[in-house]
Structure 1
Amino acid sequence: METAVTAPLIGILEGMVIEERVPERVRRTRKDARNKLVSGLLIGALVPFAVLTAMRLVGYDGNTYTIAALALTPYAGIATLVLAGLALGLRRWWTGAVALVLTFTIAALVLPRAFENEQKALGGKHVRVLASNMLGGRADPARIVGYVKEHQVDVLSLTEMTPEAITALDRAGLFQVLPFYVLHPAEWASGSGLVSKYPLTPLKLSGDSDDKQPSASVDLGDGVRIEVVAVHPAAPMWDRYAWVDEAKDLPYADAEHDIRILAGDFNATFDHSLFRELLTRGYVDAADQLGRALEGTWTNGVVPPVPIDHVLADKRAAIADFKVLDTPGSDHDAVYAEIVLP
């Protein structure tokens, strides 16, 4: 008679008998099917990363979805490393080798951003710039004003700035510290502005998107002037064509003009060819110069943080400091840079 103890043992023995009756050919067929399934799953998991790496190498941003995926390139390197370990552990040697090649390729593209570049020894004025995306005016105005005071900010670039946000910043004392401004407020995401410690003269440096990406000449005194643009091209997830057009509106930096600085939410990372093209216009990225370009500045709570907020400085200048600053109320951290003029 079966008991609670012997029943499981009997079941195991019966299973062994049934297995013994399965022909060797059938067992091999099942094993081969399992092996093919595992190999297929590993290869299928690698294909998107191979495509992403190829797009990054050739400099093609693609459509809305690939633009978003390219922003996650540093994390793709971690994923391919995990897949390489899994494949090698399962003795899928070729698949593991391909995964390692992808890992090393992505690492070669990404890791240089973690190393500081030597800066030119310049004796000009120091300009302190802060850029903050206010998430449709929701960012904590007191925190922004606090950063302005703490870091002795000379020029503040604000994006997603609403009329209500201006009122809140005024109440928090912003315009007592930075009394000069060029403001283009708008509902939700289209409003931007520049606020300065020094007198501003409005310019038109960003073409058709000048209202959304305002610019101004800043008189620092002693005959020294710089030109600053509050940057905020459209988010590619909503309109990738506007993203391209508004980024291409941004000006070149060259010896024919005063030192130029682009500061704000670029909606792009180093892994977008559109952003790298901007750098070829005569700029350096402040975070990259100091080995801080892998620090994320934006997340929607679903994807990991990605660095889409930047301060780009004329390559004739040098970078003395860079920080990513937590900003409650916004989905973006603020970015701060200290720029040394020639």
Structure 2
Amino acid sequence: MTITAAPPVNAGRRRKRAGVTVLVWLLFVLPMAAWAVIRFGGWERGPLVQLFAFTPYVAAWAVVSALIVVFSRRWLGASIAMVAAALLVVGVLPRMMTDRDPGPAAGVEVHVMTANVLAGGGDVDTIVRLVRDHDVAVLALQELTPAIKTRLTEAGLDRLLPYSSLAAEVGTSGSAVYSRFPITGIGSRRNGGGFLQAYGTVQPPGAGPIAIESAHPVAPYDVRILGEWRADLASEPRPDPNGTPRILLGDFNSTLDHKPLRDLIASGYRDAAAADGSGLVATWGPYDGDPIPPVTIDHVLVDRRIGVRDVAVHGVPRSDHRSIIASLTVPAAS
């Protein structure tokens, strides 16, 4: 009887398969798993703070990565990649769900708007038109300068919103709150990052008083500034369930994938855009020509006693930010 030995294993094929396995793990499994763990642990630090603003894009890529790993038949890696993709999608997808958490429906309807005018360079005619066309009763501006304050007056803003709390400065540190209704308790405070935040209390007809503040924490543009960025977000006013309902709106230099902003919201706010299903509509990025993927760093945060009816985002020429207009339901006067 003749015994034939089994052909030797093709060492080249085995090395090639091992190389592909390493690439699959390095390119598709480990990066997505690490991103998901850091995102849900709130452990973004250093340069990761800026990168985590782009988590919605990573979540979409994580789904693609999981499919690639599944089709490669690396089953352990596929399991990890699918869990990572699921975690990231769960963190991002609810922002697209309409009426997820709109809050109270009964009360007085009030339209509010926020816009960063890029060191006073934003187009005033657009701002005034948006206020007029969308029946905006309260407007918060960031980076208000004396020059744009004058141009806004000349464009007719003061006729639409005759009351104001103004903190204009040359550069990027100024802010304002304009209102159709009288404003009491007006003032401004300078946060640790150097930005002024104008504030005041308004009382729409038929409603109780509402505290308004134009928010502008410092941007996490450098790892050396991250402590001030976190401190600015931590120092933003928290809602008092036994006090005046509060609306905090402006340029937060943070997305919902940054833990300091999530902590602020968890203190008693809801993000109006996320409640409306518009939470992934970007507000900052390429609007002044910079080749940056757009992200959502401008927000309207409302006290949980305030309901959200609708949110829309509109461009403002000559600014790198887009404006947000939110239709809200504030508590009726008791």
TM-score normalized by structure 1?
A: 0.85
Does residue 1:338 correspond to 2:321, yes or no? no
CA distance in 2, matches of 1:255, 1:101: 38
Residues 138-194 of structure 1, C-alpha deviation per residue, up to 9 Å, x if partnerless?
221111111000111111110122222222222221112111112222233211111
Following TM superposition, by how much is the alpha carbon of 1:284 offset from its aligned partner in structure 2, in angstroms? Answer: 1.0
Q: Unpaired runs of 5+ in structure 1?
A: 1-23
Query: Alignment partner of 2:45: what SS?
Result: coil
Q: Unpaired runs of 5+ in structure 2?
A: 1-6
Over 6 Å off, 4+ runs:
none
2:96–2:280 CA contact under 8 A, matched in 1: yes
Aligned to 1:16: none
Greater Cα radius of gyration, structure 1 or 2:
1
Aligned to 1:149: 132
Does residue 1:187 correspond to 2:170, yes or no? yes
2:126–2:317 CA contact under 8 A, matched in 1: yes
Residues 107-161 of structure 1, C-alpha deviation per residue, up to 9 Å, x if partnerless?
1122122212264554432221100011222221111111000111111110122
Opposite residue 261 of structure 2, the aligned amino acid is: F
Aligned to 1:246: 232
Once the two structures are overlaid, the 10-residue window that deviates more, 121-130 or 321-330, is 121-130
Opposite residue 332 of structure 1, the aligned amino acid is: H
Residues 57-110 of structure 1, C-alpha deviation per residue, up to 9 Å, x if partnerless?
1122322x2112221222112112222222233333332332222111111122
CA distance in 2, matches of 1:30, 1:217: 74
Corresponding residue to 1:133 among 116, 131, 141: 116
Aligned to 1:103: 85
CA distance in 2, matches of 1:207, 1:133: 17
Following TM superposition, by how much is the alpha carbon of 1:240 offset from its aligned partner in structure 2, in angstroms? Answer: 1.5
Following TM superposition, by how much is the alpha carbon of 1:215 offset from its aligned partner in structure 2, in angstroms? Answer: 1.2
Corresponding residue to 1:114 among 96, 116, 121: 96
Opposite residue 104 of structure 1, the aligned amino acid is: A
Aligned to 2:24: 42
Aligned to 1:3: none
* Distance 1:36-1:135 versus aligned 2 partners, 3 A rule: farther
CA distance in 1, matches of 2:168, 2:114: 16
Aligned to 1:165: 148
Aligned to 1:80: 62
Aligned residues: 317
CA distance in 2, matches of 1:252, 1:289: 19
* Distance 1:101-1:184 versus aligned 2 partners, 3 A rule: same
Opposite residue 150 of structure 2, the aligned amino acid is: T
CA distance in 1, matches of 2:41, 2:240: 27
Query: Alignment partner of 1:334: what SS?
Result: strand
CA distance in 1, matches of 2:186, 2:43: 32
Opposite residue 169 of structure 1, the aligned amino acid is: L
Opposite residue 231 of structure 1, the aligned amino acid is: A
Opposite residue 119 of structure 2, the aligned amino acid is: G
- The residue correspondences of 1:192-271 to structure 2 (distance < 5 A) are 192-203=175-186, 208=191, 212-221=196-205, 224-238=208-222, 239-271=225-257
CA distance in 1, matches of 2:325, 2:201: 19
Opposite residue 90 of structure 1, the aligned amino acid is: S
Once the two structures are overlaid, the 10-residue window that deviates more, 102-111 or 292-301, is 292-301
Corresponding residue to 2:308 among 316, 319, 328: 319
CA distance in 2, matches of 1:55, 1:333: 29
Residues 286-342 of structure 1, C-alpha deviation per residue, up to 9 Å, x if partnerless?
112112112111114434221111111110111111111122211211111111112
Query: Alignment partner of 2:253: what SS?
Result: coil
Residues 232-269 of structure 1, C-alpha deviation per residue, up to 9 Å, x if partnerless?
10001242122111112211112332111001011111
Cα-Cα RMSD = 2.3
Aligned to 1:7: none
* Distance 1:204-1:50 versus aligned 2 partners, 3 A rule: farther
Opposite residue 221 of structure 2, the aligned amino acid is: M
Query: Alignment partner of 2:221: what SS?
Result: coil
Does residue 1:274 correspond to 2:285, yes or no? no
Query: Alignment partner of 1:220: what SS?
Result: coil
Once the two structures are overlaid, the 10-residue window that deviates more, 267-276 or 29-38, is 29-38
